[in-house]
Structure 1
Amino acid sequence: MTRLPVADRRTVRRALRDLISRHRRAVGIVLALHSAAALAGLAPPWLLGTIVDRVTAGTVVATVDRLALAIAGCVLVSALLSRYAQYAGHRFAERAVAELREQFVSRTLGLPVSVVERAGSGDLATRSSIDVATVGTTVRDVVPVIVIASVQLTLLFGAVFLLHPLLGLAALAGLPSIVAVTRWYLRRASSAYLTEGAAAAELTETLTTTAEGARTVEALRLADDRIRHGTARVTGVWQARRATLALRTVFFSAVEASYPLPIAMVLLVGGYLLAADRVSLGAVVAAALYLQQAVDPMDRLLQWTEQAQRGFASYARVLGVGLVPPEPPGATTTSRGERLVVRTARFSYADGHDVLHGIDLEVQPGERLAVVGPSGAGKSTLARLLAGIDAPRQGVVSIGGCPVTDLDPAERRRRIALVTQEHHVFIGSVRDNLAFAAPDASDEQMRAALATVGADWYDELAEGLDTALGDGARQLGAAEAQQLALARLVLADPHTLILDEATAALDPSTARRTERALAAVLVGRTVIAIAHRLNTAHDADRVAVLADGRITEIGSHDDLVAAGGAYAALWRSWHAHADERQR
């Protein structure tokens, strides 16, 4: 499995700057409101210190009442400004998260199919769910908290300095230890959270593949093996989370131990200054209150710094999807004719071992070619090369003289369609599922496409094309879902069809009926069928036998049976099993 890339810190910072730049008006409003709220919050401690000085000097009760009323007014103003600041911050965050989700979906849909398949569904699923949600939490909750806390701390410590510079210096007594442990934490946190995200992706991949292949696991008695594999992935997540927890344990313990020191130093220095008559008692009280008031924003700032590291790591993983080069627009969008030609094609996957060895093949326009062979011979790999999903390591696959991979992706998909035994039913109506292939198709055309592939189950749907499919709605069986996929193929109307065991999920009688129904649609089109039922090969114009990544035989059904080679042996074996099933 090849992991999708992760953006580096410079890319993440650039993306954050671009995000702020696009929403600078909203960000400016949020900062202004939070700053005003923090300024209003500075008044109560100063007013309280003034009350202490006035009482010490022997003021009247009316003056104290006025100052107390002013304190209440400042608290109310601060609360109102904070409320509107949070409202504005959440509006900005929700817009930013919505924009992020749209960009992520757009980038994901632009990924080459081969990249998605090799990365595995677990990594992409984790990035599209957990990572995007983490970034959303960071933008919506963490960033406003960090902004608010930073503004409050700046103003609070500034106010202490204004009371007396020595008090301000005393207030910074806990700063060196906090800075030191924060730097220690930040140097280690990013890589630790990236490791945790990768471990979670591997666990998701394992759970997804095990669930999807549950019947295969049961049939092959692989349950113990899958449990061991899953346990190893759970252990990996546990170890990764223990590592991040260890970092947080050191970080928060050291920070919490640093909080009492500034207050103690301010009281100590304040006592000295008060004895020297260089500061009033009210100023010392106000400074102590400011520092006590600073504990909460400092705590929130450092606490959410940890969540910000999670968000930073998740943002790097989300942006990493955009680092995969999308399918480039082809330099050539037209080709001469529809003849499909493969010349000395070799192909290997990530391990470097060749799966196809010098394939030579020509498929004429309108021809029906069946590709047969044992499991693992390379049939599906050849189908992917013909469809342009993968490019050969050596040699060329061309249509009308133009390399398939050089065609514009939209043009290639319009002309060549690959339908496999894997299918997907999207959440939505029947109409929504069919519209993916032909957005402009009418209801009549959609019904005709379903009828063409023998989808008799459609007649039982009370709501017709508006019937909802997916979780909590109408569930389609494997055969029904495959017929829906074939109906999409009919609507897509490509010139060249590659059917990679496209009717494998259907029972023999339904598959035969569907293939007969498709026969009318396939007239005049080039069809390459990866056949597991040899009746498909019997009906083809030519049959290519693939073994160990090489074409060993090619010709008509009758010629190959008469030749008495590998195909003839397959035909006799298949007929014997068919007769046995009928008995």
Structure 2
Amino acid sequence: MSAETLPVATPAQVRAYARRLVLRHPWDLAGVLALHALAAVTGLVTPRLLGALVEDVRDGHADIDTTGLAIAGFVVVQGVLMRYAYLASAKLGERVLAELREEFVDRVLALPLSTVERAGTGDLVTRASRDVDTLSTSVRYAMPETLVAIVVGGFTVGALLLNGPLVALPALVAVPMLVAVMRWYLPRAHLGYLRENAAWSEIADGLTETVQGARTVEALGLAERRHERGDADIATSYKAERYTLRLRMVLFPVAELGFVLPVASTLLVGGLLYINDMATLAQVTAATLYAQQLIEPVDTVLSWLDELQLGGASLARLLGVGNVPPDRTPNGARPAGERLTARDVRYSYRPGHDVLHGVDLDLRPGERLAMVGPSGAGKSTLGRLLAGVDGPRSGEVTIGGVPLVELPLDDLRGHVSLVTQEHHVFRGTLRENLVMARAGASDDEIGQVLAAVDWDGPGLDTVVGSAGETLSPAQAQQLALARLILADPHTLVLDEATSLLDPRAARRLERSLAAVLDGRTVVAIAHRLHTAHDADRVAVVEDGRITELGTHDALIAQNGSYAALWTSWQR
């Protein structure tokens, strides 16, 4: 079953956002438009001069040198104006693109973690990479070029009309045809490119799952199924791209015809008007040159129109990230203490399929609780709810009497944090990777934290992560634990947080952590039962329920599930 996709913004939202983004810089935009308008006006003088020159040549009193110098002067002025106009356009485009990227990052960071996990990494990665790159092309090139073309085209049409309304009409013969094909193309292209981008998300999601789960795929013999999933995703993408290709195969031939018709019509009709003394030779010449000049801006608009449609679809996907509703509604209440409690908690990943069934748990402040049980019993899910990552379907998880989902995220992390088996090492120095947990931490504090996790890796100024020194999985796990200690929450949920260490190193690390974390509440989801042996209480989770709860000795004496696990682990 494919993952859920993140929302997509509506066309109205995209248009409103584009207006807001552009109008943030009204003076810069006005400057760009003014420069392009001046460049367009200087470019329109040459056809008039050439038209007059042709008529003067016919009459035998042409001043070719003066006209040539004037044309050369206007061409030079136009070149200078175009240079500064494009420079101003590029600067404005980069500024707008930078703001859009920053806002996208803010939206992504505000996404509820549960939403990201349900959507899968493929959709989010595709939006953050392919959609951002596509939009970059639109903002850097398509939008400025189209804006320039519209300005130049508008002034050219104005010059045509001023030159003579009768000789201007033939140049506009292709307008109804182009308007009709645009009305047909635009709505279909928008939906088509949304489907195309969604298909790419499915491909990325499938590939990511296959790569990340390569060992599982190999162990369970799922290679053929993964191949079939990849083939199906590629077939869907192929079908989506074929659809947009068919749209372009209609658009571009009609557009090419629209380039030829105005010039031919102007020459033909203009010649008839001249023969009948309804237009001068200068007017016909200038109108033909203006019709020829119209080809470039119209061609530019149509050429970039496809890119703008693709960019619009990408923008809709980027803005759609902000349409995800928040998973918490802060009410301003402050916890009265650090007592973590779960009452009749139920949770489901799919409607109608609960994985937790009425769980009750009351953690005393400063208590160390170990959660054990078979794989798939719901331990990690319960740990996520106790850490406030997810909210329960029904029931509530509170700290100090306040539901976790009613605490702002920053406040929540000051009370309870989660460390899982999955860790990320950011590109930067080891010190930068650590102080993100608490800005302003001194080197002495960092050194104490590293000592607490038995750090045996590189020094604080060593660059780690992508393009830096590679940390082993065990070192990445130690780094995550060090961040957690530095963040200093009162309650910690450790989901097999030492599973990547060898048993002796894990045992030594847990003893060091116990000393550092003394006085804090710790929930340790464990697969090594020595963790349970050292805990104040042990909770046995089976089939989404806590079936046993008590001290290690008491549960051994009950001779139930925990006693069986302990006996099996001891062998």
Bucket of the pairwise TM-score, normalised by the shorter protein: over 0.9
Aligned to 1:9: 11
Corresponding residue number in structure 2 for 1:230: 230
TM-superposed CA distance for 1:89, in Å, is 0.3
- Whether contact under 8 Å (2:167, 2:283) holds in the other structure is no
**Cα shift at 1:496:** 0.5
The letter for the 2-side match of 1:515 is: E
SS of aligned partner of 2:418 = strand
Residue 88 of structure 1 and its aligned partner are, at CA, apart by 0.1
The 1:344–1:132 alpha-carbon spacing in structure 2 relative to 1, beyond 3 Å, is same
Please say if residues 327 and 409 of structure 1, whose CA atoms lie closer than 8 Å, have aligned partners that are also in contact: no
| Secondary structure of the corresponding residue to residue 361 of structure 1 | strand
**Residue-by-residue CA offset, 1:475-502 (whole Å, 9 max, x unaligned):** 0111110000011011011110101111
- Where 1:53 maps in the other structure, the secondary structure is helix
1:471-482 aligned at under 5 Å gives the runs 471-482=466-477
Q: CA deviation at 1:172?
A: 1.1
Residue number in structure 1 paired with 2:263: 263
Q: Is structure 2 residue 520 aligned with structure 1 residue 525? A: yes
Distance 2:82 2:76 in 1: 10
Shift of residue 196 of structure 1?
Answer: 0.8
Question: What's 1:572 paired with?
Answer: 567
3-state SS in 2 of match to 1:358: strand
Instruction: Give the TM-score normalised by structure 2.
Output: 0.97
1:71-122: per-residue Cα shift (whole Å, max 9, x none)?
A: 1111111111111000000000111111111111112112221122212211
| 1:472 positional shift | 2.0
Q: Which moved more, 1:156-165 or 1:491-500?
A: 156-165
SS at match of 1:465: coil
Tell me how large the CA RMSD over aligned residues is: 1.3
For the pair 1:44 / 2:46, whether they are aligned, the reply is yes
- 1:227 Cα deviation after fit: 2.1
CA distance in 1, matches of 2:279, 2:356: 87
Equivalent residue runs for 1:129-208 within 5 Å: 129-208=129-208
Structure 2 partner of 1:396: 396
Contact 1:359 1:550 in 2 (8 A): yes
Aligned residue number for residue 246 of structure 1: 246
The residue number in structure 1 matching 2:354 is 354
The residue identity in structure 1 corresponding to 2:194 is L
Distance in 2 (alpha carbons) for counterparts of 1:104 and 1:350: 28
Instruction: Write the distance in 2 (CA, Å) between the matches of 1:522 and 1:148.
Output: 64
Distance in 2, Cα, partners of 1:159 & 1:70: 18
Q: Distance in 2 between matches of 1:111 and 1:64?
A: 69
1:408-487 alignment runs, 5 A limit: 408-457=408-457, 461=458, 464-487=459-482
Q: Which residue of 2 aligns with 1:512?
A: 507
Q: Deviations over 1:116-138 (max 9, x none)?
A: 22122111111112212222221
Q: Secondary structure at the match of 2:130?
A: helix
Contact in 2 for aligned 1:333/1:411 (Cα 8 Å): no
Deviations 1:519-544 (A, max 9, x none): 11121111111111111111111111
- Are 2:369 and 2:535, in contact at CA under 8 Å, matched by a contact in 1? yes
Structure 1 gap segments, 5+ residues each: 577-583
The amino acid across from 1:348 in the alignment is S
Equivalent residue number for residue 120 of structure 2: 120
Give the match for residue 291 of structure 2.
291
How far did 1:346 drift? 0.8
- What are the within-5 Å matches in structure 2 for residues 276-315 of structure 1? 276-315=276-315
2:546 aligned to 541, 547, 551, which one?
A: 551
Greater shift, 110-119 or 246-255, is seen at: 110-119
Rounded Cα–Cα distance in structure 2 between residues aligned with 1:508 and 1:243: 56
1:498: which partner in 2?
A: 493
Whole-Å separation in 2 of the counterparts to 1:454 and 1:275: 97
CA deviation map 1:181-203 (0-9, x unaligned): 11111020111111111111111
2:24 aligned with 1:29, yes or no? no
AA aligned to 1:434 is L
Stretch of structure 1 that moved more, 223-232 or 287-296: 223-232
Contact 1:5 1:321 survives alignment (8 Å): yes
**Does structure 1 residue 542 correspond to structure 2 residue 537?**
yes
Q: Quick one: distance in 2 between partners of 1:4 and 1:297?
A: 37
| Contact 2:259-2:295 within 8 A present in 1 as well | yes
Secondary structure in structure 1 of the residue aligned to 2:346: strand
TM-score, with structure 1 as normaliser: 0.95
Q: Deviations over 1:439-476 (max 9, x none)?
A: 1211111121111111122xxx3xx2110012221001
- What secondary structure does 2:460 align onto? helix
Q: CA deviation at 1:258?
A: 2.3
Q: Which residue of 1 aligns with 2:67?
A: 67
Question: Quick one: which amino acid aligns to residue 535 of structure 1?
Answer: H
One-letter code aligned to 1:369: L
**Which amino acid in the other structure matches residue 96 of structure 2?**
A
- The CA distance in 1 between the partners of 2:399 and 2:165, in whole Å, is 80
Q: Distance in 1 between matches of 2:338 and 2:492?
A: 12
Corresponding pairs, count:
569
State how far apart, in whole Å, the 2-side matches of 1:143 and 1:323 are.
Answer: 25
